Each structure stands twice: as C-alpha cells, then as structure tokens.
Amino acid sequence: MAWFARKKIKAANGLLGIETSPEGIALARVVREAGQPANLLECQFHKASPDEQPDLLKRLVDDLGFAGMPVNLLLHPATYQMHLLDSPDVPAEELRDALRWRVKELIAEPLDDVVVDAFTLPSDAYRGRSRMAYCAVLNKARMLAWRSMCMHAGLQLRSIDVTEMAFRNLGLLAGSEGMSLALLRLRSSEGLIAVQHGTDLYMARRIEQGLDHVEQDFSAITLEIQRSLDYYESQLGKGYINRLLLLPMKRNGDVALQALSSGLAVKLQALDLRDLFPDQLGAEVSEQEQAYCIAAVGAALRQEAV
C-alpha cells in the first residue's frame, strides 16, 4: 500500500522508515544486499512536538548524512482510518478508485479532502465468499504536510504506508513463511492484532482497549484478542495460528506478557528486535526504546515489487 508511485530501492543506500507521532519521530534504516539478511543500520527515537518535528528531521538527516535517501513514511494509527470492504471485481490498478466511492458513506470528510488506497485480501480468505479488501483513508492536507516535511529535510518520499503493512514486514522477518503468524501490539489507548500467512496479510483488527484501561486486569483485552484469533481460525480458512508475538511495549511489558499468556489458547511470545537483528542491536537496547522504534523498522523493511 502506498500513496505514491512504487519504485525500486537501491540496496546500497537502503531505505529509511520514519514514523511521526504526537510524542516524536522514530527513524530506522535498513539495507538489503542480494542474498543476505536485512541489516538494521539505524534505529532511534527523538521526542518532539508535531510543530518541532520538521526542523528536527532536517537536523537528523544532516547529522546522519541521509540527504537524498528514499523514505517510507509510516502513518501513526491515529492519523488514518482503515475499513474492510467487499472488493469490486475490477483490475488491481482500478481498485483504489472503485473503493473510493464505496468508502464515501463511511467517512465524515468530503471525498475531495482525503486520499484513499487499498489492497485485497488473499483469494483463499473468507472460505470462497466475497473477495475483501482493506481501504485506508488519509486526510489530504496531512499527506501534503508530510511530503513538505520530507522535502524540507532533503529526503525522497517514495511511499506512505500503514502500520498494518509495517507489521506484515516484521512478521515475515520473524518467520511467517509457511505458517500463520500473529503480531500483537498494545498501546496506552488501543491495540492492534495482525495475522498473516507468509507474505499475505489476512486480518488486521484494532483492539479498542489499551493499557490505560486495564489497571493490571487484562481479562477484557485477553477476551478481545482470543475472539480475534478464533475468528481467523474459524472464518478465514487458514487453520490455527502457529505463533503469536507480542511487540515491545513502552511500559508493563512483562506484566502484560504474563497476564495474557495465562488466558490465551495460543502460546504468546515476546518479540525482541535483538533477535531479528542479532548483529546490529546491542544488549543495552531497552524494550521501551524498541517500542518507540519498531514500527519504523517495519516501514524500513518494505520491499518494492515494481
């Protein structure tokens, strides 16, 4: 998924993944060489208000020597809407325009004020029923502001991506080939569970409750997660989930892992970036630091097909 034309990325330069949030900017750089594992060469987070972020990004690019590098800008979950819709029977290149009109009744903004992109679910999802597609909606003014921010910093904005696809990239690196793998992220106000089989994303669901709601009682979140897993296994036709990975958390990671593990039918494991990049990240990188950067890492793992 991208709101800009897809282009191949030169392996020698790698790709920057950048996520802006109300708290600051996360930046990751991944380089791929033919036949070699992905190398994570940069992974950092800097606190800054949204007004401070354009100048901060420019300083970081100048300091790190990243001028001219291609960027996959990752949307913070609060900045876009994601809708699951019936996919019209149109060629792939016409899907975006076709769904643009279908999403009209689901959004409050006029169509002229938003940009829309979409991707279909695999053909074997939903046990042969109607083909489905995820449709993402982004405010146009925000998109133009982010493009200006990248231009101001001296970067080449190649694509704008969504968290669901960044997680798909992480899952592939974590070993989703040939199996159903789920990634779970819990934040202060909400969460996200995404399930894939190999490179294909089959399900992405927002979890309505976050860490601010639990007060050490994870029963409601556990139930919501288990319902999502049951839905995947019963409705999407891919069988049981082989692995469920909990992404790094800014706080209460150990508490959440223990509490959720006791209530889920699938074994829950913590995902550690140091396991995915054992030669690039040192032992001193904390779980909190990983939590701030992991989505940007997923964005930097994007591979262009055309």
Residue 171 DSSP class = H
What are the backbone angles phi and psi of residue 195, rounded to the nearest 5°?
-120, 135
pLDDT of res. 136: 96
In this model, does residue 8 exceed pLDDT 70? no
* pLDDT tens sequence across 134-145: 999 999 999 999
Q: Set out the domains of the chain in order of their start, with CATH numbers.
A: 15-76+142-164 (3.30.420.40), 79-139 (3.30.1490), 176-271 (3.30.420.40)
In this model, does residue 92 exceed pLDDT 90? no
pTM, 2 dp = 0.91
Q: pLDDT tier at 180 (50, 70, 90 boundaries)?
A: very high
In this model, does residue 69 exceed pLDDT 60? yes
In this model, does residue 277 exceed pLDDT 70? yes
Distance CA 116, CA 213 (A): 32
What's the one-letter identity of residue 146?
W
- Kindly state the tokens that stand for 2: 């991208």
Q: How far is CA 146 from CA 3, 79, 107, 303, in A?
A: 12, 12, 22, 21
In this model, does residue 190 exceed pLDDT 70? yes
User: Residue 264: helix, strand or coil by DSSP?
Assistant: coil
Dihedral angle over CA of 210, 212, 218, 224, nearest 10: -20
What are the backbone angles phi and psi of residue 32, rounded to the nearest 5°?
-115, 130
Residues counted in the chain: 306
53-62, 64-73, 87-96: range with lowest mean pLDDT? 87-96
pLDDT of res. 128: 61
Mean pLDDT of 117-132: 81
Share of the chain above pLDDT 90, in %: 70
In this model, does residue 306 exceed pLDDT 60? no
